[in-house]
């Protein structure tokens, strides 16, 4: 087995130039992953910067970027441009000339008003990969509606409904989850378009939306409903028809999940672990079908058993009996999870600005350690403008360089 690397190396996208016109999470997270993988990402910001910079900051008026902002903007360059200004629009156009990819999560109408209609931009820059992340896509009556992932991903795509137990009220879920799912889908689209360009020399228009990603995340359930089926609603845990795929509480008030997806296979292990292998001979619990029919009494048996030991004690028992499970961890517990550390999940920001989570894909077993923080607003404006004056258009560059 190859041992994990410990040296920071250039990522696989070194040489790729990305121009990002985005704010909040969904768009910047696309550029963030590309930057993590070695691309040069130039973030275009208005005066004052992306409003995400100070949202969720540890304290009011914090001088450094918020952790949420750093997570999706580290390692980028920043240029301040007012795209309502003709001169600044010209500078943006010059940046497009030298870019391989444009990433934006502005709404379609705003992009068109700025002269950034995808067809027109690609006519001017045929090699460009134009990546648009929206709430609801570029067609349809609702394409201009504001989204955020609570609206486009959770609510409208049905995710929130499926997360809400019958009889309960839907609760807003943590922002950013649908954004990051959508951004990674967009990253995949960008890389596919780059691959196509290597073969054809032509760029592409790449779309990703919160709505479509949310629907795809539940393709099985939604497809079932679309074809006349009845997806199973979320039940209270005490009435779950799949007791071996359910949540339980240990004696120390810590929760965990059983993940016995194949009930007939996992049932003997769970019964042995709780010290009641004889229940296999109880006709109510003899097999998966019986357990489903008698889910309430079976869950009551498991609840009583699991209340007798701490979670750490159960961990040892589960290991002995090959029971599939996982702890339900708080965010602070995730932050200290040794398995996450072992897989290279954490990286340090330069200048002792704390740590953040690396992009979830690692290459060649190499773990990154220290990376630049997100840039200050406009910190690279002068340098980039000097480069634009010095550079010539790259339209004749060899495609193999990217």
**What is the DSSP secondary-structure string of 311-334?**
HHHHHHHHHHHT--EEE---HHHH
Pairing mode of beta strands 325-327, 346-349: unpaired
Query: Domain end: 278, 300, 330, which one?
Result: 330
**H or E stretch at 308:** none
| CATH code for the domain of 96 | 3.40.50.10540
Alpha-carbon distance 276 to 305, whole Å?
9
Q: For residue 267, what are its two tokens?
A: 């049932």
| pTM as predicted | 0.87
Q: Mark whether 144 and 274 lie in a shared domain.
A: no
Cα(367)–Cα(342) distance, integer angstroms: 9
Tokens of residue 266, six digits: 């996992």
Residue 400: band (very low, low, confident or very high) from pLDDT cuts 50, 70, 90: very low
Tell me which residue of 17, 42, 117 sits closest to 393, measured CA to CA: 17
Task: Write out the residue range of the structural domain in which residue 302 sits.
Answer: 237-330
Same-domain pairing of 144 and 205:
yes
Average pLDDT over residues 368-384: 93
CA-nearest of 14, 156, 145, 54 to 376 is: 54
Both 105 and 40 in one domain: the answer is yes
**Do both 208 and 258 map to the same domain?**
no
pLDDT band at 53 (very low <50, low <70, confident <90, very high): confident
Judge if 208 and 150 occupy the same domain.
yes
Question: In terms of domains, do 216 and 255 share one?
Answer: no
CATH of the domain at 245: 3.30.1540.10
Do 278 and 392 sit in the same domain of this protein? Answer: no
Same domain (yes/no): 54, 150: yes
The DSSP result for 272-299, as a single string, is: HHTT-GGGGGSGGGSSHHHHHHTHHHHH
pLDDT bracket for residue 48 (50, 70, 90): confident
Give CA separation, 299 vs 249, 279, 304, in Å. Answer: 11, 13, 9
Residue 114 has pLDDT above 90, yes or no: yes
CA separation for the pair 184, 190 (Å, rounded): 10
Q: How many domains does the chain fold into?
A: 2
Residues 91 and 27 in one domain: yes
Report the interhelical angle of 177-200 vs 210-217 (nearest 10°): 100
pLDDT for residue 9: 59
- Six-digit token string for 250: 């240990």
Last residue of a domain, one of 303, 330, 357: 330
- Please check whether residue 225 lies inside any domain of the structure: no
User: In this predicted structure, what is the pLDDT of residue 64?
Assistant: 63
Q: Is residue 365 part of a domain?
A: no
Of 296, 330, 364, the residue that ends a domain is 330
Q: 265 with 145, same domain?
A: no
Asked whether residue 361 is domain-assigned, the answer is no
């Amino acid at each position: 087995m190859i041992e994990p690397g410990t040296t920071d190396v250039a990522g696989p996208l070194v040489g790729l130039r990305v121009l990002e016109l985005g704010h909040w999470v969904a768009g910047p997270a696309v550029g963030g992953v590309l930057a993590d993988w070695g691309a040069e990402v130039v973030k275009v910001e208005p005066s004052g910067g992306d409003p995400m910079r100070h949202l969720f900051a540890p304290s009011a008026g914090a001088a450094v970027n918020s952790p949420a902002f750093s997570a999706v903007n580290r390692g980028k360059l920043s240029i301040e441009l007012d795209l309502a200004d003709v001169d600044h629009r010209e500078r943006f156009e010059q940046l497009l000339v030298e870019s391989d990819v444009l990433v934006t999560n502005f709404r379609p109408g705003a992009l068109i008003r700025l002269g950034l209609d995808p067809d027109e931009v690609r006519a001017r820059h045929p090699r460009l990969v134009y990546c648009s992340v929206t709430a609801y896509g570029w067609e349809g009556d609702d394409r201009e509606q504001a989204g955020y992932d609570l609206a486009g991903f959770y609510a409208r795509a049905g995710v929130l409904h499926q997360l809400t137990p019958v009889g309960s009220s839907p609760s807003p879920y943590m922002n950013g989850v649908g954004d990051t799912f959508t951004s990674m889908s967009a990253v995949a689209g960008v890389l596919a378009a780059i691959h196509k360009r290597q073969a054809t020399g032509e760029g592409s228009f790449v779309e990703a939306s919160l709505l479509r990603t949310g629907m795809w995340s539940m393709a099985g359930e939604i497809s079932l409903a679309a074809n006349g089926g009845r997806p199973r609603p979320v039940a209270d845990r005490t009435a779950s028809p799949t007791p071996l795929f359910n949540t339980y509480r240990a004696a120390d008030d810590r929760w965990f999940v059983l993940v016995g997806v194949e009930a007939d296979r996992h049932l003997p292990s769970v019964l042995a672990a709780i010290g009641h292998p004889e229940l296999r001979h109880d006709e109510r619990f003899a097999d998966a079908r019986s357990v489903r029919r008698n889910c309430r009494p079976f869950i009551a048996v498991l609840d009583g058993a699991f209340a007798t030991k701490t979670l750490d004690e159960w961990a040892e028992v589960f290991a002995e009996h090959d029971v599939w499970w996982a702890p339900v961890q708080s965010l602070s517990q995730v932050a200290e999870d040794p398995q996450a550390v072992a897989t290279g999940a954490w990286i340090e920001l330069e200048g002792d600005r704390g740590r953040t989570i690396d992009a979830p894909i690692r290459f060649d077993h190499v773990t990154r350690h220290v990376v630049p923080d997100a840039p200050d607003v406009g910190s690279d404006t002068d340098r980039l403008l000097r480069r634009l004056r010095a550079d010539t258009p790259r339209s004749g560059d060899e495609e193999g360089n990217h």
